[in-house]
Structure 1
Amino acid sequence: MEFKIFIDVLFKEAKKVGFEEYEVYYTDSESLSINIYKEEVDKYKLTNSYGLSFRGKIGNKIGYSYTQILDKDAIDMMIRNAKESALAIENNDIQFIYEGDKDYKEIESYYTELENINPEKLIELGMQMEKECKLLSDKVHNFSACGIGYSNSKYGIINSKGLNLENKSNLLTAYVCPIIKDGENMHDGMGYAVATSLNEVNPKKIAEDGVKEALSKIGAKSIPSGIYKVVINNEAMVSMLSTYAGIFSADATQKGLSLLKDKEGEVIASSIVTLVDDPHLYKGLGSVSFDDEGVATSKTELIKCGVLNTLIHNLKTANKENKTTTGNGFKASYASPVGVSPTNFYIEPGDKTFDELLEEVGEGLIITDFAGLHSGANSITGDFSLAAKGFYIKDGKKTFPVEQITVAGNFFKLLKDINRIGTDLKFPMSSVGSPSVIVNELSVAGK
């Protein structure tokens, strides 16, 4: 059935069975991923997916249903399932079908330069990344991964209040993970690019980043246990921030899953820390003009100079607290209910270069990688105990690589212990970003 006809019939049937308000959310995406191994195509995968969800309101209850097929049987099924799920809801949370906002900011998330890319060109670039790695060092022994991919998607919202929004986005990613052999020891590294045109994919630069990282790990050793002053580099800080991003959701506090409940207006971080959610960030992977409820997005300062200003909200969580939504009502997929999620979520950069951070520390530790974040970090209490890697700092300079250490602490205390922030804000293939930071002290278990 043609899309517009499907929506018209669906809405007509929804009204007929008693839904007072109703809405559809749809996604249509295509992705191409190419994996290279030993300069040959190891995997070539083209994926197309389409899905449409319906939600309808009866009283203050909203029922959900979804389909991947647009036909009359799907309409009957969706209406029936949505009504049954609405009537089965026992809580008293007020739900909303949004009428829309007057203005929506224009966001550049679709790039015509990426249209009609020849897959052969992508394969060529992928193979070139492997070749460049081998040219850079005879220590390159193998690859744990090498790939390049393109994604193209659109999604939209149409409802009975006259809202009709659509967004398109596309992106190109490339990465290589060389493994070097040094005697009996193996070390890996990673180079990558997130691009909006083919010209932005530089195989030599990507290979250099991967090989350089792998080579830097040669000679790694543990260090004595103790309390160290630490520089957490930007990528490691991103992994930490990603793990604890959920505590800033009002949905989490209302469910008792975050210690930030009723903490607005209190100091929860160092006075130099400002944490923002910016859906309008230029070329941000999470940039969008509206959320999945149709609310116009805007920049939110969650932490301003160490003080918790606000949590992020959707319409339901904001209503519970008599507040205004921050435009963070998002679905995990078309088949999911609306939750609360950040967009481009990051700590604002400071005024010190990475080298200046090392000089200020004098002697201490650089952490470049945390491992075991899913099992070793408690997102409610903030406690963590994580395997880590990095480098030792001596006389304000990076010296030997460090491994076989475990770093323990608490995320809430870590935020308060940040005493300097770098200029090197980075979003490593992610919508979460951070610059490098100096933390006053962390407990390290080593040899």
Structure 2
Amino acid sequence: MELDLFVRSLFKKANEAGFSEYEVYYVDRESLSISVYKSEVEKYNVNNSAGLSFRGKLGDRIGYSYTEILDEDAIDMLVNKAKENVLAIENEDIQFIYDGDKEYKEVSTYYQALENIPADKLIKIALDMEAEAKKYSDKVESFSGCAVSYSSGKYGIINSKGLNLHNKSNILTAYVVPIIKDGDNMYDGFGYVVAKSLDEVNAFEIAKMGVDEALSKVGATSIPSGNYKVIINSDAMVSLISTFAGVFSGDAVQKGLSLLKGKEGEVIASNIVNLVDDPHLENGLASVGFDDEGVATGKTYLIKNGKLESLLHNLKTANKAGVKSTGNGFKASYASPISVSPTNMYIEPGINSLEEMTKKIDKGLIITDFAGLHSGANSITGDFSLAAKGFYIENGVKTKAVEQITVAGNFFTLLKDVEEIGRDLKFPMSSVGSPSILVKELSIAGEGTKNE
């Protein structure tokens, strides 16, 4: 059954069943992923997923159901399941079918240049990345990954209040993870691109990025334990922000899962820190003009000049807090309930280059990689103790590679200890971004800590 006809029939049946308000959210996505290994295609995966969810209001509660099949039987099932869901609701949270906003920002997320790219061209890119990496350095021993992916999708919201929104998006990504061998030691690196057209995909440049990173780690050693002035580079800082992003959720705050409860307007970071959620960021991987509740999106300052400016909200959490939704009500899939999620979250860049910040350190570290974020970081308290890699700084110069160290600290303390912010804002295949930052000090456990 065609979507329009299905929705009209569903809404008619919902009205007859006593629902006063109702809404449909639909999604249709497809993706192609190609990975290669030893100059041959290892995997060729095509995935298609489509589905529709229904929300209906009975009294002051909203029931929920979903389907992958659009036919008459599905209409009856959706209405009946939503009714059953209403009866099972035990909490008193108020939920909403949204009226809509007067204006919605047009956000470009679909690129014509990516339409109908032949699969053999994508395969060639993957094979070329592997070949270029081997050609670039004879130390390349193998690969832990080499792949190209294309994904596209469309989704939308239609409700009984006249709201009818839709959007489509697509993107191409390519990456290679070469492993080099030096003596008995192995080192890996990561080269990647996120592209809007094939012209932006250069197999040599991607391979070079990955191999150069791997080569930079050769000869890495540990360092003595102690407190060091630290630069956290953009990639490593992105991993930290991603781990602790949930503390800025209004839902987490209301459930007691964030230490930011009641701290809006208070200083929680250095006065040079501005953390934003920007759904209108040009070329952002999570850019969107409306959220999954139909609320118009807009740029939100979470931290502005060091002060907690706002939390992220959907309609339910905003109502509880007595504020307007920030347009961050999103679903993980059509079958999921509405939660609170960021769009493009990043620290705004400063003015200094990584090299300029490095010159200001007599003895310190550049952290390039954190490991163990799932087990070594407490997203509620902000505490972390993480294995890390990077480079030693001496007399303002980046010197030897460093590994086998553990970095310990607290995310909230770290934000307050930011002394400088670089201009090298990056989004490493992620909707979370950051420049490199210079932190007053962090505790490093390295040499001399074993068996103590």
Partner of residue 217, structure 1: 217
Q: Percent identity?
A: 70
Letter of the 2:413 counterpart: K
**Residue 202 in structure 1 maps to residue 202 in structure 2:** yes
Pairwise CA RMSD:
0.6
Q: Does 1:110 align with 2:96?
A: no
Structure 2 unmatched runs, 5+: 448-452
Aligned residue identity for 1:104: Y
Q: Deviations over 1:54-85 (max 9, x none)?
A: 01111221111100001111111111111111
CA distance in 2, matches of 1:22, 1:326: 22
Counterpart secondary structure, 2:217: coil
* Aligned equivalents of 2:55, 2:237: Cα separation in 1: 38
- Corresponding residue for 2:190? 190
The answer to whether the aligner puts 1:286 opposite 2:286 as a matched pair is yes
State the alpha-carbon separation in 2 of the partners of residues 350 and 2 from structure 1.
51
- Measured against aligned partners, the alpha-carbon deviations of 1:300-333 in whole angstroms (never above 9, x if no partner) come to 1110000001101111111111111111111111
* 1:424-435 correspondence runs (5 A): 424-435=424-435
What's the counterpart of residue 423 of structure 1? 423
- Contact kept? 1:60, 1:93, Cα under 8 Å: no
Alignment of 1:217-256 (within 5 A): 217-256=217-256
**Matched position secondary structure for 1:15:** helix
1:324 aligns with 2:324: yes
User: Residues of 1 paired with 2:385 and 2:27: CA distance?
Assistant: 39
In 1, distance between residues paired with 2:310 and 2:41?
48
Listed one character per residue, the Cα deviations across residues 176-204 of structure 1 (whole Å, up to 9, x for unaligned) are 00000111111000100000000100000
Q: Which residue in the other structure is 1:77 paired with? A: 77
What one-letter code is carried by the residue in structure 2 that aligns with 1:186? Answer: M
Counterpart secondary structure, 1:361? coil
Aligned positions of 1:244-323 closer than 5 A: 244-323=244-323
Match of 1:50 in 2: 50
C-alpha distance in 2, partners of 1:247/1:83? 34
Structure 1 residues 152-199: Cα deviation after superposition (integer angstroms, max 9, x where no partner): 101100000010000000000000000001111110001000000001
In the superposition, the TM-score normalised over structure 2's length comes to: 0.98
- The code of the aligned residue for 1:130 comes to E
Aligned to 1:409: 409
Which secondary structure state, in structure 1, belongs to the residue aligned with residue 384 of structure 2?
strand
Runs (4+) off by over 3 Å: none
CA distance in 1, matches of 2:121, 2:329: 38
CA distance in structure 2 between the partners assigned to 1:160 and 1:242 by the alignment? 36
The 2-side partners of 1:205 and 1:394 are apart by 30
Deviations 1:88-128 (CA, angstroms, capped at 9, x unpaired): 11211111000111111111100000001010001111110
* CA–CA distance in structure 2, aligned partners of residues 154 and 4 of structure 1: 15
Question: Which residue pairs with 1:170 in the alignment?
Answer: 170
d(CA) in 2 for partners of 1:428 and 1:184? 30
Q: Answer whether contact 1:137 1:211 (CA < 8 A) is retained.
A: yes
Whichever residue aligns with residue 382 of structure 1, its letter is: G
**Structure 1 residue identity aligned to 2:170:** N
Mapped contact 1:330–1:339 kept (Cα < 8 A): yes
- 3-state DSSP class of the match of 2:149? strand
How far did residue 362 of structure 1 move? 2.6
Is contact 1:139–1:182 with CA below 8 Å preserved after alignment?
yes
1-structure distance, mates of 2:360, 2:26 = 51
> Residues of 1 paired with 2:66 and 2:193: CA distance?
35
SS at match of 1:290: coil
CA contact (8 A) 1:302 1:311 kept: yes
> Per-residue deviation at 1:360?
1.4
Which letter does structure 1 place at the counterpart of 2:68? Q
Give matches, 1:348-359, under 5 Å.
Answer: 348-359=348-359
Residue pair 1:365, 1:390 contacting (<8 A) in 2 also:
yes
Give the structure 1 partner of residue 343 of structure 2: 343
Name the CA distance, whole Å, in 1 between partners of 2:91 and 2:64. Answer: 15
Q: Output the amino acid matched with 2:187.
A: H
Q: Which residue is 1:18 aligned to? A: 18
User: Corresponding residue for 1:122?
Assistant: 122
Separation in structure 2 between the aligned mates of residue 427 and residue 86 of structure 1, nearest angstrom: 41
**Hey, what does 2:380 align to over in structure 1?**
380
Q: Between Structure 1 and Structure 2, how many residues are aligned?
A: 447
* 2:132 maps to 1:147: no
Partner-residue secondary structure (3-state), 1:375? helix
